[in-house]
Chain A
Amino acid sequence: MADGMRLSRESLQAALRQRGALWAPNDAGHWSQVEALPELGPIRPRRPVKDLFTPPRREIARWKAGAGPAEIEPAQPDQTPGSVFGVRPCDARALLLLDRAFLQPSCVDPHYKARRENLLLIGVACQPGPNCYCGVFGFGPDDKDAVDVMLTPEAGGFVAQAGSPRGQAFLATVPAGAAVPLAAPRPGPQPEWWTGLPDPKALYANFDHPMWHELGISCMNCGVCTQYCPTCQCFTIDDESFKGEIQRLRIVDNCQRSDFTRMAGGHNPRQVAASRLRQRVLHKFSYIPTQNPGLLGCTGCGRCVDLCPLDRHLFADVFEIMKRINQEAERVA
């Protein structure tokens, strides 16, 4: 087992400040720029770290109404070097999925790329909360695979280990503390009744199953789950204007909204609530793993379970769906 490096809070903070700006979750659980390392809660903050990389409201360009084309001012990517402190493994893993969309070679989002390149991800191991399910996805609360540096809090500081070469290079700039042997990675929690991830193909094959409509009654398509999901990336593009000044914006959107798929002529392929619920489940557990073998559209952060106004439980739903599919398959066999 490799060794970790003991860091005092002060020396870590000094080294991070040396590197540039510092972002961390604030008391409300939103990501904001901070001066000093905050005390973190035991679990993930309310908002996922995607807010810093693909913000809910991102300017594409602005111009003055009636101005000629030369006046279109593209928004400049934020190249501020710095670090994000307090990234949890579930959120960091979600960024790997967002990379697939925003760093695809044919159309790189320069704003996303700038943030990804300039911000060092400083992970902090968490004490999983009641609705944390990273174990479902095979990693734990101190997983370092998707962060640059993973810190495990201890009295007066942290034990640090590098998760990437970039993190390794950063750790070399911090006054070295004592080397301490690392504990074995902790397993992530999962529901006690959980038996394993569903087969993407089996889910897809049951697209027309009546159970979606039965589940629909306990969902109101508010979309809170998607807004707080670390992997949800859907957006719309629209303009906002005020007194002749126009902003072209990329605005967060989600598949639960009734007009998400409504076309200009009025035709809406996902007219009923249940079809939008199904879209969310299938996209995360069937379409994404089909498109990107080895990846899932969920990292088990459990925010959707925490925040659902109707107390729906994504994993319980998926489990029930699979149970029914399996039972029916057995009956046929």
Chain B
Amino acid sequence: MSDRYEPRIVGFLCNWCSYAGADLAGTSRLKVPANLRVVRVPCSGRINPLFIFKALEEGADGVMVSGCHPGDCHYISGNRYAKRKLAVLRRLLDWVGIEPERIHFTWLSASEGARYAVEVAEFVDKVRALGRHNPMARQGVAS
């Protein structure tokens, strides 16, 4: 084990595309950083901003959100609604002084296992560069 800082990242992946893409990365024996803890959601439109805030509060260093490409949504347009919400969420984080770069959005299809591996690796590097201190993270039970 190297002693470099390994960020913990929560990934919200849509069931129909991105999660399948992550699966493909695995079955293709691609190397994907182990920093990502995946939460499978039915659709990127299901992601309530609360999930992301809560992940940051509980100490995640970054949050990755991934859904089907625009136009490919299993529920027709859930990802397009998600885009609007997430756009505002990014700005809200910026307004309260939390780096919006800690949130990474990407559209990823079931066939893009290789790109999944790259996206995760790049995001992990980016969060590592941002540093250990996610300002929203709680420090203890009473903080």
User: A–B direct touch, CB within 8 Å, in complex?
Assistant: yes
Stretch touching chain B among A211-219, A235-243, A256-264: A235-243
**Nearest opposing residue in chain B for A242, CB measure:** B141
Chain A, residue nearest B140 (CB): A242
Among B138, B140, B141, B143, the one with the most A-chain Cβ atoms within 10 Å of its Cβ is B141
A245 to chain B, nearest CB (A): 5
By secondary structure, the B interface counts as loop
The range of chain A's interface size is under 10
For the complex, give the distance between the alpha carbons of A247 and B138 in Å: 15
Q: Give the chain A neighbours of B42 by CB distance below 8 A.
A: none
Interface mask (B120-143 → A, CB under 8 Å = 1, otherwise 0): 000000000000000000101111
Chain A: CB-nearest residue to B143: A242
CB of A62 closer than 8 Å to a CB of B: yes
A246 at the interface (CB under 8 A from B): yes
B contact residues, total (Cβ < 8 Å) = 7
Closest partner residue, chain A, to B57 (CB atom): A242
Interface of A is mostly: strand
- What is the 8 Å Cβ interface bit string for chain B, positions 60-85, against chain A (1 contact, 0 not)? 00000000000000000000000000
B59 at the interface (CB under 8 A from A): yes
State in angstroms the CA–CA spacing of A247 and B143 once bound together: 12
- List, in ascending order, chain B residues with CB within 8 A of A62's CB: 141
Q: Which residue of B lies closest to A62 (CB)?
A: B141
B141 surroundings in chain A (CB, below 8 A): 62, 240-242, 245-247
CA A141 to CA B55, docked complex, whole Å: 51
- Contact indicator A247/B142 (Cβ below 8 Å): yes
Contacts of A240 in B (CB 8 A): 141-142
Residues of A within 8 A of B138 (CB): 242
Residue on B nearest A57 in the bound complex, by CB:
B142
Shortest Cβ gap from B55 to chain A (Å): 14
B142: chain A residues at CB < 8 Å are 59, 240, 247
The distance in angstroms between the C-alpha atoms of A325 and B143, with both chains bound, is 50
A247 contact set on B, CB distance < 8 A: 141-142
In whole angstroms, how far apart are the Cα atoms of A100 and B138 in the complex? 38
Note all chain B residues with C-beta closer than 8 A to A246: 141
Bound-state CA distance A108–B141 (Å) is 27
Q: How far is the CB of A194 from chain B (nearest CB, A)?
A: 44
Chain A residues, Cβ within 8 Å of B143: 242
Q: Please list the residues of chain A having a beta carbon within 8 angstroms of any beta carbon in chain B.
A: 59, 62, 240-243, 245-247
| A and B contact pairs by CB, cutoff 8 A, 16 listed | A59-B142, A62-B141, A240-B141, A240-B142, A241-B141, A242-B58, A242-B138, A242-B140, A242-B141, A242-B143, A243-B59, A245-B140, A245-B141, A246-B141, A247-B141, A247-B142
